[in-house]
Amino acid sequence: MSEIHELSALDLAAAVREGELSAAEVTAHTLERAERLGPGVGAFVTLTPELARTQAADVDATLAAARRSGTLAELPPFLGVPCPVKDLTMVAGVPMRAGSAALEGLVPPVDDGVVTLLRAAGTVMVGKTSTPELGLPAYTEPEVAPPARTPWDLSRSAGGSSGGAAAAVASRIVPVAHGNDGGGSLRIPASACGLVGHKPSRGLVSWGPHAVDGAGLTAHGVLTRTVRDTAAFLDVLARPWPGDTFHAPPRGDATFRQACERAPGRLRVGVLTRPVVAEDAAVDPACTAAVTRTARLLADLGMDVVEASVPFPSADWEPFMALWSVGALQAPVPAAAEHLLRPLTRWLRDLGRRTTGLEYAQALADAQRLTRRAAEAWDDLDLVLTPTLAALPAPVGSLRDDADPAADFAAQTRYTPWTSVANLTGRPSISLPVDLAPQPGGGQVPVGVMLTGRWGGDATLLSVGSALEEVVRWADRVAPEPS
Catalytic residue set: 86, 161, 185
CA-CA distances (angstroms) from residue 277 to 188, 320, 386, 416?
A: 15, 10, 13, 8
> What residues form DSSP beta bridges with 178?
222
380 residue type, one letter: D
Instruction: Give the 3-state secondary structure percentages of the chain, helix then strand then coil, rounded to 5.
Output: 45, 15, 45
Residue pair 82/27 in contact by the 8 Å Cβ criterion: yes
161 residue type, one letter: S
Residue pair 185/161 in contact by the 8 Å Cβ criterion: yes
Longest CA span, the chain: 64
424 residue type, one letter: L
Round to whole Å and give the CA distance between 424 and 430: 15
* Alpha helices (runs of H) in 70-162, residue ranges in sequence order: 113-120
> What residues form DSSP beta bridges with 128?
46, 85
Residue pair 163/128 in contact by the 8 Å Cβ criterion: no
The set of residues, in sequence order, having a beta carbon less than 8 Å from that of 14 and lying 6+ positions away, is: none
Round to whole Å and give the CA distance between 451 and 457: 11
DSSP 3-state of 380 = coil
* Alpha helices (runs of H) in 211-305, residue ranges in sequence order: 227-237, 256-259, 285-300
Find the helix packing angle between 23-41 and 9-17, rounded to 10°. 150
Round to whole Å and give the CA distance between 125 and 52: 5
DSSP 3-state of 96 = coil
Residue pair 460/453 in contact by the 8 Å Cβ criterion: yes
Round to whole Å and give the CA distance between 169 and 167: 6
Number of C-beta neighbours around residue 263 at 10 A = 11
Round to whole Å and give the CA distance between 218 and 213: 7
What pairing do the DSSP bridges indicate for beta strands 176-181 and 219-224?
antiparallel
Omega before residue 142 within 30° of 0, cis: no
Round to whole Å and give the CA distance between 99 and 81: 25
Round to whole Å and give the CA distance between 366 and 360: 10
